């Protein structure tokens, strides 16, 4: 898609922004309502050997400092006090909907349905 081989693709906005910095002539649709996102949960094991260390790590992962590291790697943060690399990616400016995690359980079914709809 970034090379102009396809007129449309389903991509992550942060990847498009990264490709644009490399000179790719592409843009992402900023008016989608909603913009679908994938959540990456973090958890502490119930019976871990060092539970307080796990809690400290969790505190760090959600801290502004760690989220700035994430942002500087061209990823998006859910924290409203961490400005994205491009203003259009600010979560306060987008209507965001999380993808249901159970979709992964039937990924082959949805992939087949997608191909049937868009690649007839």
Asked, for residue 5, whether it belongs to a domain, the answer is: no
CB atoms within 10 A of CB 67: 18
Residue located via tokens 């709809």: 117
- Number of structural domains found in the chain: 1
Asked, for residue 60, whether it belongs to a domain, the answer is: yes
Asked, for residue 79, whether it belongs to a domain, the answer is: yes
- For the record, the structure tokens of 19 come out as 């490709």
pLDDT tens string 26-60:
888 777 678 778 777 888 888 999 999 999 999 99
- Taking the C-alpha atoms of residue 77 and residue 94, their distance in angstroms, rounded to an integer, is 13
Q: Is the pTM of this model over 0.85?
A: no
Contact at 8 Å (CB) between 64 and 82? yes
Contact at 8 Å (CB) between 34 and 91? no
Asked, for residue 53, whether it belongs to a domain, the answer is: yes
pLDDT at 10 over 90: no
Asked, for residue 96, whether it belongs to a domain, the answer is: yes
CB atoms within 10 A of CB 69: 11
Asked, for residue 105, whether it belongs to a domain, the answer is: yes
pLDDT at 6 over 90: no
Asked, for residue 92, whether it belongs to a domain, the answer is: yes
In the chain, how many H helices and how many E strands? 4, 2
Q: Which domain holds residue 36?
A: 13-118
- Taking the C-alpha atoms of residue 42 and residue 36, their distance in angstroms, rounded to an integer, is 19
Phi-psi region of 63 (alpha: psi -120 to 50; beta: other; left: phi over 0): beta
Asked, for residue 67, whether it belongs to a domain, the answer is: yes
């Amino acid at each position: 898609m970034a090379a102009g081989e396809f007129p449309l693709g389903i991509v992550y906005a942060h990847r498009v922004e990264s490709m644009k910095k490399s000179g790719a002539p592409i843009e992402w649709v900023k008016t989608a309502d909603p913009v679908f996102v994938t959540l990456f949960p973090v958890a502490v094991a119930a019976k871990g050997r060092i539970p307080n260390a796990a809690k400290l790590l969790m505190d760090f992962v959600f801290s502004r400092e760690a989220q700035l590291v994430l942002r500087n790697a061209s990823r998006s943060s859910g924290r409203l006090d961490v400005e994205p690399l491009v203003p259009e990616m600010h979560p306060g400016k987008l209507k965001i909907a999380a993808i249901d995690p159970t979709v992964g359980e039937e990924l082959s079914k949805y992939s087949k349905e997608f191909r049937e709809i868009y690649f007839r």
